[in-house]
Every structure is written in C-alpha cells, then in structure tokens.
Amino acid sequence: MTMLQHEITDFTANVYQNDDFHELTKADVLGHWSVFFFYPADFTFVCPTELEDLAEAYPKFKEAGCEIYSVSCDTHFVHKAWHDANEKIAKIEYPMIADPTATLARDLDTYNEADGLAERGTFILNPEGKVVAYEVISSNVGRNADELLRRVQASQFVYEHGDQVCPAKWQPGEETIEPSLDLVGMI
C-alpha cells in the first residue's frame, strides 16, 4: 500500500519548541508545506546528526514556505531534556513533536510495533495535508537535509505547474520537462 496522497489524520500532540511546550493539531499543519521527520528516539546516535543537519538548513526550508516537524515516540519532556543536554539538539528551532502513543507514526505507517519506536521516515505534505513524497530507511542510515529540501522544492514546483515534471537533480530555476507524445523515447 502506498502512502502517496494519504491525508494525515486528525491529531493533537504536545510539542517542544523554543524553550516552550505547546499543542499542535492537524489544523496547524494545513495551509503550508510540511515535512514530518520521524526518528527512532532521543538520546541516540544517528538521530542527533540528522536533526542538527535539519537545524542548519531550517532557514532554507522556512524560505521555501515549509515547516519541519521532527517526530519521535518520546514525550515532550524528553525532547526538552535532550535539547538542554546536547549541543547539536540545542540548535533546533523547529517543532519537536512528542508521539508517545504513536498516533502519527501509525498513521504514516512508520511505527515498528516490535521495538515500540518510529522508523526513520520522512514525509512531505502539501498544504492540504496530503503526502506527496516519502521514504522510510534503515534506522542505522542518516538522511540529508539538502536532498530533502530539493525534493520539497520540486514537489512545490509540480504542485503549482501540474503540466511539468522535474528531472533528476533538478534545482529551482533549472529547466523542467513538459511531457508530450513527441518526447516519448527522446529523453
């Protein structure tokens, strides 16, 4: 079963962000582009390197009109403790969602029942809250914020220009392809 075009479920979650706790709901996610960035757990090994990479790229995502939401099955209290204890995590300004009941992890099919943890899943959601791109990878391999940003930007482009597609390694401002019968077998 594919998650493409799956609309995120209604949810309410506790969030740690900018030295504060608040709630986040589905309504807060709608109306803008979002990345839900699941990782197995706080106080682990690969996760801080990924979250720091996202923290450093966060201004570029905001510039693109996209919010980052990191998500693990830890509580918001654990997120705060990790933020206070780790210099990599201390750089984070984006919302860190607490999903201790695995509501979001189950909805986006990235919950590992046997381990009680989220898999390393990345989901790009359009302003309607629908998944337009996703990947789930092994828990021992980190992801790349630059490639994720490129995929967000490409997804935004095709969302706005439905008659065009973005080739491999496409970057904003580069040429796209307008599919047509004349191009079959020519690319």
For 97, other C-beta atoms within 10 Å of its C-beta total 23
Sign (positive or negative) of CA dihedral 65, 43, 39, 47: positive
Kindly list the catalytic residues.
47
Structure tokens at 66: 């996209």
Which are the contacts of 157, defined by CB distance < 8 A and separation ≥ 6?
164, 166, 170, 172, 176
Three-point CA angle 139, 145, 150, nearest 5°: 125
